[in-house]
């Protein structure tokens, strides 16, 4: 008897005893019908696509959220502007004037018509204690810097902060006084009455 046939018969008898189907050594493995194939896991396949080195895992361009498009960091809510209206107007009014008095060994006088129209001479020997309105800064200073010159060569005191376009007049002789006004801050004050802030200094 053919050796291969003998093995087939032996396998058939063993399968009958064990209750399993005998293998078909002559048949080639054929693909399963489509209706018998296991279902494809599309979600797993989609997740595996992102691991493909030729496919970028990053998301494409998309529209920004509505909150991001409408959000403006430069403007406060209307209720905050309303609550701060009075404090801001007070601060704007303080910014308008530069008025102070002083005492100490200092002599001289100056006139200011913007930064380009300053002229005068003030000498601190060696200081002058000043009290007054210096804008949004301390109301008390000890002035030790001299002021002298004409026009663009004028050297102002480093202890004072001049506002843009400042116009003023000062005189010292032991006792001293200075009075000035800031036109740009005056415009800012009146504009602030209708919630406009050209100097961008509202809190």
> Which sign does the torsion angle of CA 61, 67, 69, 72 carry?
negative
64-75 residue pLDDT tens: 555 444 444 457
CA separation for the pair 201, 68 (Å, rounded): 25
pTM higher than 0.75, yes or no? no
Is the per-residue pLDDT at 46 higher than 90?
no
Summarize the confidence of residues 2-11 as an average pLDDT: 68
Summarize the confidence of residues 154-180 as an average pLDDT: 96
Q: What is the DSSP letter of 58?
A: S
Residue found by looking up tokens 């802030």 in the block: 197
What pLDDT score was predicted for residue 44? 53
Which residues, in sequence order, are CB contacts of 203 under 8 Å at separation 6+?
A: 84, 87, 88, 91
Which residues, in sequence order, are CB contacts of 150 under 8 Å at separation 6+?
A: 118, 119
CB atoms within 10 A of CB 106: 23
SS3 of 3, please? helix
166-178 residue pLDDT tens: 999 999 999 999 9
What pLDDT score was predicted for residue 50? 47
Is the per-residue pLDDT at 146 higher than 90?
yes
CA separation for the pair 15, 4 (Å, rounded): 17
CA separation for the pair 133, 180 (Å, rounded): 10
């Amino acid at each position: 008897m053919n050796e291969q046939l003998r093995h087939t018969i032996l396998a058939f008898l063993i399968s009958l005893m064990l209750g399993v189907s005998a293998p078909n050594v002559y048949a080639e493995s054929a693909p399963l019908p489509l209706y018998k194939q296991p279902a494809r896991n599309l979600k797993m396949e989609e997740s595996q696509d992102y691991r493909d080195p030729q496919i970028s895992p990053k998301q494409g361009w998309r529209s920004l959220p509505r909150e991001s498009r409408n959000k403006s960091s430069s403007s406060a809510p209307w209720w905050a502007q309303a609550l701060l209206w009075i404090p801001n107007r007070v601060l704007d009014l303080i910014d308008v004037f530069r008025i102070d008095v002083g005492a100490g060994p200092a002599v001289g006088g100056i006139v200011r018509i913007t930064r380009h129209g300053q002229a005068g001479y003030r000498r601190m020997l060696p200081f002058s204690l000043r009290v007054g309105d210096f804008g949004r800064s301390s109301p008390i200073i000890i002035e030790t810097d001299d002021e002298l010159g004409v026009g663009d060569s004028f050297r102002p005191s480093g202890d004072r902060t001049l506002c843009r376009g400042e116009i003023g007049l000062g005189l010292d002789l032991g006792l001293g006084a200075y009075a000035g006004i800031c036109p740009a801050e005056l415009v800012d004050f009146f504009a602030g009455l209708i919630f406009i802030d050209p100097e961008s200094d509202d809190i």
